[in-house]
Structure 1
Amino acid sequence: MMTRQVWRLQRRPRGDIADGDLEFVEETVPEIAEGQVHVRVLYLSLDPTNRIWMSDMEQYMPPVGLGEPMRGGIVGRVVKSRNPAFAEGELVAGLGAWTDLLVSDGAGLQHMPELPGISIPQAFGTFGVVGPTAYFGLLEIGQPKPGETLVVSAAAGGVGQIVGQIGKLKGCRVIGIAGGAEKCRYVVEELGFDAAIDYKAEDVGAALDRLAPEGVDINFEQVGGPIMSAVLGRMKLFGRVPLCGLISTYNATDLVEEPGRWTLILMRRLTIRGFIVTDFAPRMGECLQALAGWMLEGKVKTRQDIRPGLDRADEWVKLLYSGGNFGKLLVQVSPE
């Protein structure tokens, strides 16, 4: 009998994720049945939505059940297959679990091509969730035009770094918001953003008044809270807000809607659209082709923050909610 290590959700967090909310266990894995595969997980993606999946709240898919393996995006190799759609040794990626050995019927898994010049963590960290989120959110909802001002919150994270670079390719002036001087330097000097605001060291509203005195056309929103309020208050007429996250609120227990926001949306005639990347699933091929082309041409760079050890995944995931990660957060589960 094979064994695996897996994180299971034992109780729903109240506020921050606490010790005991998740349990790390070793368990036996039965032989696969007809139609199933065993996948040796190489990398686990940690994403802000992990905290949502732990909660019994309205969301875009059922929450993880108590006692169930924690859900997460994975990339790995098929080590045993009784499913004709998957060959042993093949690289696959998709929605799986926080485990080193995934047992699956193939649902939610896709073949992942191995592209010369793009490493497995680069490809998985870009093409899996964050790249399509950036691509469709900015191009379909933000509808950038040359000369417009684009503000990107969480600019040094997995999604934000790609949004800003696509914005530059489309002719926008791009201002990133990030936490810390190193992250701000990175998005300007390495990724080509026009400017960056360190929300930990300066007033975001005052910095926007200095950097974008005529206002903001597009706010790619991932954070929520006071940072979102500062940007919304400086939006131009007919501004657009692709909304893919509100990470500053995910651990909150006493949310209060800010007064006056609906009046501002009305008077500025803002378009705000929340979206989930799977909304655009039928067009995923278009996105991946564009992203891979830009990466191979050197027009889009991505940074992965790779942390070692599945046994510390409960620790690493907390970095997302404190700004502790720098780039797309991945856990290396098994050696390649």
Structure 2
Amino acid sequence: MDPATTRQVVLLSRPDDVPRAEHFEIRETPVPDLAEGQLLVRTEYLSVDPAMRGWVSAVANYAEPVGIGEVMRSLAVGEVLASRHPAHQVGDVVMGMFGWQEHAVVDATAVWLTVVDDDLPHSLALGVLGLNGLTAWAGVHRVLRPRAGSTVVVSTAAGAVGSIVGQLASRMGCRTVGIAGGPGKAARCVEEFGYDVGIDYRAADFQEQLAAATPEGVDHYFDNTSGPITDAVLARLAPRSSVLVCGTAAITSWDPWPTGPRVERIVLTRRARIEGFLAFDHLDVLEEAVGELADLVRSGRLAHREHVLDGLEHAPGAIAMLYEGSNEGKLVVRLP
């Protein structure tokens, strides 16, 4: 029997910085009837991603901000309970932009992927076999395009995206340098994710360690942070290098405009390329990327971590965990 009501997490107020639990509330609401072309999905896992800070900000972003009182925008994975669209059948497991809610009535266009790897946990469709995997795969293969022997540096290298980037680059024969917060995560880069070198950006001698790890300079940089970490890496750019800007976690506000070292001269003299990256621009290769990554996960050749929170009530405070660095892998919320 289809549910009559569902619980949702809605945006209560707009944060000035990182969204926290007090900026959301949980409400119970009736489940609407399906219109033609819609699905009813019982969500199994909700995704928690750094991009959510931008989605609730009043400052201009690449996406329209979530409105006050609206369900928090989120990728989710779950089972189709009812369908009025021929491409989706009852019992299908689908991943898409369903929001932070226990049950979602959505247009079929909200579905990104039908999960076919039933031998693997469905939660992976939100991480290594979802947006995080696509970000890493497309960033490496479509944007950075490193060659064997090149030096690839990754910030937030033990995170859900960075850990995959390092492993993909290593498989291509690159020398990989991972930057992470704290000696434990720096060690994890090497011991668990196969980086050649792991560096703690909080160390007093961070810049000296970075120089020692990149004696020939940095050929490719996958930037998940911006800020002082990126300032240090850009100073090490090699000729004809490339930089992919995927995240700006170190920038807490756009008012006033953030300032830092002027990079134009080093970009000019190194003939470097800097490119902004959004995974949404690469959805055309999602199935290809997931197919390759699933084979690697299944065979044990791609390490990954998950941090699972149980219950919808944990979602409102989860975004802050990402910016505090307290999660130990891809952060998801499991629903009963």
> Is the CA contact 2:167–2:194 (under 8 Å) kept in the aligned structure 1?
yes
Alpha-carbon separation, structure 2, partners of 1:322 and 1:276: 23
- 1:266 and 2:273 correspond: no
Alpha-carbon separation, structure 2, partners of 1:2 and 1:247: 40
Alpha-carbon separation, structure 2, partners of 1:272 and 1:259: 15
> Is the CA contact 1:79–1:88 (under 8 Å) kept in the aligned structure 2?
yes
> Is the CA contact 1:122–1:302 (under 8 Å) kept in the aligned structure 2?
no
SS at match of 1:185: helix
Alpha-carbon separation, structure 2, partners of 1:19 and 1:136: 33
Q: CA deviation at 1:157?
A: 0.8
SS at match of 2:250: helix
- Cα 1:301–1:52 change in 2 (3 A) is same
Fraction of identical pairs, as percent: 37
Alpha-carbon separation, structure 2, partners of 1:254 and 1:204: 28
Q: CA deviation at 1:175?
A: 0.8
Instruction: Provide TM-score, normalisation by structure 1.
Output: 0.93
> Is the CA contact 1:132–1:288 (under 8 Å) kept in the aligned structure 2?
yes
Q: CA deviation at 1:105?
A: 1.9
Write the deviation string for residues 8-64 of structure 1: whole angstroms up to 9, x where unpaired: 112221123245422221122233233322111111111111011101233222211
Write the deviation string for residues 119-157 of structure 1: whole angstroms up to 9, x where unpaired: 212243212201111011112211111111111100111
Alpha-carbon separation, structure 2, partners of 1:187 and 1:279: 28
The one-letter code of the counterpart of 2:327 is N
**Unaligned runs of at least 5 residues, structure 1:** none
Matches within 5 A, 1:19-58: 19-58=21-60
Write the deviation string for residues 206-248 of structure 1: whole angstroms up to 9, x where unpaired: 1111222221111100101000101111111111111111112
Q: CA deviation at 1:251?
A: 5.3
Alpha-carbon separation, structure 2, partners of 1:116 and 1:190: 25
- Cα 1:332–1:252 change in 2 (3 A) is farther
Range with bigger deviation, 21-30 or 218-227: 21-30
SS at match of 1:42: strand
The one-letter code of the counterpart of 2:88 is F
> Is the CA contact 1:149–1:172 (under 8 Å) kept in the aligned structure 2?
yes
Match of 1:159 in 2: 161
Write the deviation string for residues 282-312 of structure 1: whole angstroms up to 9, x where unpaired: 2223222221222233221211111222112
> Is the CA contact 1:217–1:239 (under 8 Å) kept in the aligned structure 2?
yes
Alpha-carbon separation, structure 1, partners of 2:283 and 2:38: 24
Range with bigger deviation, 277-286 or 264-273: 277-286
Alpha-carbon separation, structure 1, partners of 2:318 and 2:255: 22
Count matched residues. Answer: 334
